[in-house]
Amino acid sequence: MRIALDEAALARGWSSPNPPVGAVVVRDGEVVGRGHTQPPGGEHAEVVALREADERARGATVYVTLEPCGHFGRTPPCAQALVRAGVAEVHYAIEDPDPNVRGDGHRQLHEAGVTVESGDGADESALLLEGYLKHRRTGLPFVIAKYAASLDGRIAAASGDSRWVSGPQTLEWAHRVRPTFDAIVVGSGTVVIDDPMLTARPGGTTAGAHQPLRVVCDSRGRTPDTAAILQGASPTLIATTALSPELWRKRMRGPNAEVIVLPARDGHVDLEALLRELGRRGVLTVLFEGGGVLLGSLFDARLVDRIHAVIAPIIIGAADAPTAVAGRGADRMADAVRLREVSVERLGDDILVNGLVVWPEGA
């Protein structure tokens, strides 16, 4: 199952709206086939692994990180492919919550005389599939809020200068993980001040890297025509409201840039409406990179699932310097957001804190 999980990790970003799944075929203690989910319209992990195994799949044991599907979608059902290949056993990590699958793949395999077991690698698989699992249960993508802040919680100096709060190792890490997400969201303030490209450049290049959908929340039409986020082949979605000028919206539209008008909430783009639209488009994971106003609205609406907080060993100290998370926030400490399943990692001199959000009861 460890090898299957490693295969699943290779599909993150590329497979959506399908889940990133890995599969391994083992015959007489030897791995004879392995595979992961291909981009939409392509083969599922089990089919890739079975094709590599060929005739050696007969009587073999298959390890897969998600219950094999039992229905026709863009591709034929994997459960039936496993039966036709003559495998003897299937071990899958977790049940697929999709109503079209949920238990049906297991049933089809069992009725065909295949020994079926579940649970091996369940925790690791659920982590890899956290976007897919939430999307299938709620229709919404899994939301990660990411920021880099000083020890005193500032994301920029009083002038707005934010280059660079964190160090070069953090930048390298950011470009390594960007390809695993389906979309990256920033606010118009970040576009105006930092003019980011929001492309994934692991190793310093975009070559061969999955490029997430670039999303800008721009309620009033502040994004300039020259913004880097409008350049290049990577697609861009600008989410705005009726408060923005129609002429500006027309200027923003281009070969790779789309503009959508969403409802406003407290004068800003309604982020839940944005997430529902992204979920409708098959986006499973969304990385919100700020700034503080956008993240504040996201936290106030209780839309965050996981946090990636990079803490840099610097002190900015200015009372007017922007903070990592603005918004209404907590009136009492009992209302503060907390984390569970926390991990801490060194990125050069910086510290990465990663954890799942726990919302306070009754706040």
Residue 46 annotated to the active site = yes
Give 72-81 contacts, CB < 8 A, sequence gap 24+. 73/100, 74/40, 74/41, 75/41, 75/42, 75/43, 75/44, 75/47, 77/105, 77/108, 78/44, 78/45, 78/46, 78/47, 78/105, 79/104, 79/105, 79/108, 79/109, 80/108, 81/46, 81/47, 81/50
Total number of residues shown for the chain:
363
Catalytic-labelled residue, pool 7, 43, 46, 289: 46
Rounded Cα distance between 77 and 145, Å, is 35
Going from the C-alpha of 71 to that of each of 101, 102, 104, 191, 283, the distances in angstroms are: 7, 11, 8, 43, 22
Rounded to whole angstroms, how far apart are CA atoms 262 and 235?
19
DSSP 65-108: SSPPP-S-SSS--HHHHHHHHT-SEEEESS---STTTTTHHHHH
Residue 251 backbone dihedrals phi, psi, to 5 degrees: -65, -30
Residue 329's Cβ-side half-sphere holds a number of Cα atoms within 13 Å equal to: 10
Under 8 Å CB-to-CB from 145, ≥6 apart: which residues? Answer: 288, 295, 298, 299, 304, 306, 307, 308, 325
Residue 143, helix vs strand vs coil: strand
The two three-digit tokens of residue 101, written as one number: 């699958």
CA dihedral 167, 169, 174, 175 (to 10 degrees): 120
CA distance 227 to 245: 17
Q: Which helix (H) or strand (E) holds 54?
A: none
What DSSP character marks residue 34? E
User: Is there a contact between 247 and 225 (Cβ–Cβ < 8 Å)?
Assistant: no
Catalogue the active-site residues.
46
